[in-house]
Amino acid sequence: MEEISLNNLPKHIAVIMDGNGRWAKSRGALRIFGHQNGIKAVRETVEACAELGVGYLTLYTFSTENWGRPQVEVDGIMDLLVKTIGDEVPRLHKNNVQMKCIGDMDALPATARKNMEKGIETTKNNTGLVLNIALSYSGKWDIIQAVRKTASAVKSGEMSEEAIDEEQFSHYLSTYPAPDVDMLIRTGGDHRISNYLLWQSAYAELLFLDVLWPDFRKSHLLEAIKTFQTRDRRFGKTHD
């Protein structure tokens, strides 16, 4: 913790929590056992970000493509979500965390959606860490919904075509008002972005870790932030 410079923290951390299935399989258990064991990693990550003073944490919890998994796994993840949100909201609230949901909420089963809405409502005035839970989310989905909102604002005359620029467009993305992602962590050993925050990660520092998500602990996050702080971020420019 002492080796981390608090004035160079990533403002927005995004995480692809991968490896739950393999973690369970290596123990001869069903995939859902891996997801259940991923909750401790979620809790540690949220707590560490809140303690450090990170502004925004966006967790890839369920992608648009994940609907194509076997129904028993989809149902298992949705049940886990309902239970976890129910259990965790009081603790989040106590820690001044504001919970939000990004993604196609309409695609969720009613109980999961209602639970999320309750958590969002309870924590809406909190001023600490903003926790974005990406659910039924994909980067392409996000861009398309922002394009639709932009088109409708132009059509209604609320905005002129000339006013469309990067700043304006970003206001329609589901992550608004979060700034672009500074650091994107993917656990589980694969090296890809998997349709996550495509627009928002334009200049994110990418960290691919071999650790499987259920084994991810606060120490991994702190190590990742240390690595982030050694990166030379030029945003396409030079230092000369």
Catalytic residues: 18, 66
Q: How far is the CB of 217 from ligand FPP (least distance, A)?
A: 14
Tokens 């005359």 locate to 157
Residue ranges in 107-136 that form contacts with ligand FPP under rule CB under 6 A:
133
For ligand FPP (CB under 6 A), the number of binding residues is 20
Give which of 89, 1, 4 is closest to 46, Cα–Cα. 89
- Binding part of the chain for ligand FPP, among 18-26, 105-113, 173-181, 193-201 by CB under 6 A, reads 18-26
Torsion angle of C-alpha atoms 169, 144, 191, 85, degrees rounded to 10: 90
Residue located via tokens 């410079």 = 5
State which of residues 14, 17, 82, 130 lies at the interface with ligand FPP (CB under 6 A): 17
Q: Evaluate the CA torsion angle 58, 59, 64, 65 in order and state its sign.
A: positive
CA terminus-to-terminus distance, the chain: 32
Q: How far is the CB of 112 from ligand FPP (least distance, A)?
A: 10
Q: Does 98 bind ligand FPP (CB under 6 A)?
A: no
Residue 62 has φ and ψ, to the nearest 5°, of -160, 120
Give me the phi and psi of 61, to 5 degrees please. -95, -35
By CB under 6 A, residue 49 contacts ligand FPP: no
Among 20, 64, 98, 200, binds ligand FPP (CB under 6 A): 20
Chain residues that interact with ligand FPP, rule: CB under 6 A: 17-22, 31, 35, 38, 42, 59, 61, 66, 77, 80-81, 84-85, 133, 188
